[in-house]
Structure 1
Amino acid sequence: MTEQQVAVAEPSPGARQDFLRAVVKLCRERVYEDIQLADVAKLAGHDEQQLRAIWPTKSLMVVEALFGEVAPRLVFPDTGDFEADLRSQLTSIAEAFGDPGVGPHIAALAAEANTDRMLARVFLDRVFTPNRAAASKRFRSAQEAGQVRRDLDLDAAIDMVFGPIWFRLLLGTGTLTAELGASLADHAVGGLASRPDRTD
């Protein structure tokens, strides 16, 4: 090894989770711009080089930490009652994104993804695509069960139902609360539900 080469220790067992917990804590204390890798490493009790060996950028670290934190709250239930499941899903998402330690950071990451191709790919692969697939699966099963109109364009329906939450999150046009989620569910079900055959 030359003098210019620096040995970087492999991340120690449990270091990744320590880092992620530290990120979540700092997200609740600071705005996105003020979160620094050195501060995360110090709070986690590990070397900064170990952190950088896992995540080359702050954005990749934060997106993993935040969505790992909220993922259990965003599972789309399937109880057989589509109206109840949709209400549960929308209220959970609205509450999660309305959390001041989560929502503003997700909005900052989404903005950064416009100019960071690696972040955009991670956001698409780990966040958008899995959640979109879960929604598509639940909407399709509701359609097959006759709880959702058979003539419905499911992609358009999903955009219509979840779009308002993302709109408020990214543009800051209104608060995100459980009440909003419930209201969106009420409005959505009226348009999505199967209708009795009409006779002239």
Structure 2
Amino acid sequence: MESVPRRRNEESHRAILHAAITLVAEKGFENVTVEAIASHAGVGKQTIYRWWRSKGAVVLEAINDGFADVAAFPDTGDIVADLRTQMENVTVKLVTTDFGSAYRGLIAAAQSDPELARKHIEQIIEPASVACRERLIRARDAGQIRSDTDVQTTIDLLYGAIYYRLLLSTRPLATEQVAQAVDLVFAGIRTFN
């Protein structure tokens, strides 16, 4: 995480993360200040600057922290069911909470902030990609998907469908879309024993 020194007050830490998500979802990333987050959390802005270097770092940690409960990949032995479960959990979190709006705001801000973009990749995208890659490799090793499957392209296809709807709002992001995307991708890579 981008946090600077060790946190001394977990209650304040939680309040700051909650305030960051709530305010960014309500007002947009660009309209929220560290001062507003501090005020909403009931702390001084110096507390935030002691723990984080920027507003982006606070929001990034809040999003990362908020997705911890849905980011894990189950391993029931059925790769299709496991991916559906994980992707549907992520989708529900994006659709039914403030995290979807806050995440869109963070990604938009990262387009003009190379440091935030790099941290987003390092802290959210890459760990999720590694976990998915490991799960797909286990499925490949177990003969559930073709041995010539390009795992990274598979990840891009699966999660690209979520990001496309989340960021461009072409159609509503929904769990039904997850099942369709997984079925379409696996029609091309699944082995039939």
- Name the TM tier (shorter chain): 0.7 to 0.9
Match of residue 119 from structure 1: 116
Using the TM superposition, give the Cα deviation of residue 44 of structure 1 relative to its aligned residue in structure 2, in angstroms: 1.8
- Percent identity over the alignment? 31
Match for 2:181 among 162, 170, 184? 184
Gaps of 5+ in 1: 1-9
The normalised TM-score by structure 1 is 0.84
Matches within 5 A, 1:48-59: 48-59=45-56
What is the rounded CA distance, in whole Å, between the counterparts of 1:191 and 1:55 in structure 2?
44
Match of residue 13 from structure 1: 9
Match for 1:159 among 150, 156, 160? 156
Match of residue 165 from structure 2: 168
Secondary structure of 2:137 counterpart: helix
Name the aligned partner's letter for residue 13 of structure 1: N
Point out the more displaced range, 186-195 or 147-156.
186-195
What is the rounded CA distance, in whole Å, between the counterparts of 2:24 and 2:67 in structure 1?
13
When Rg is computed on C-alpha atoms for both structures, the one with the higher figure is: 1
Using the TM superposition, give the Cα deviation of residue 191 of structure 1 relative to its aligned residue in structure 2, in angstroms: 1.7
Using the TM superposition, give the Cα deviation of residue 19 of structure 1 relative to its aligned residue in structure 2, in angstroms: 1.1
Matches within 5 A, 1:34-45: 34-45=31-42
Secondary structure of 1:72 counterpart: coil
> Given that residues 28 and 105 in structure 2 are in contact (C-alpha distance below 8 angstroms), is that contact kept between their aligned partners in structure 1?
no
Q: Structure 1's 151 and 44: CA in aligned 2 closer, same or farther, altered over 3 A?
A: same
Match for 1:109 among 106, 114, 125? 106
Name the aligned partner's letter for residue 9 of structure 2: P
The normalised TM-score by structure 2 is 0.87
Name the aligned partner's letter for residue 18 of structure 2: R
Match of residue 65 from structure 1: 62
Gaps of 5+ in 2: 1-5
What is the rounded CA distance, in whole Å, between the counterparts of 2:101 and 2:22 in structure 1?
14
* RMSD between aligned residues: 2.0
Point out the more displaced range, 13-22 or 73-82.
13-22
Q: Which runs of 4+ in 1 moved over 6 A?
A: none
Q: Structure 1's 171 and 64: CA in aligned 2 closer, same or farther, altered over 3 A?
A: same
> Given that residues 92 and 181 in structure 1 are in contact (C-alpha distance below 8 angstroms), is that contact kept between their aligned partners in structure 2?
no
Match of residue 85 from structure 1: 82
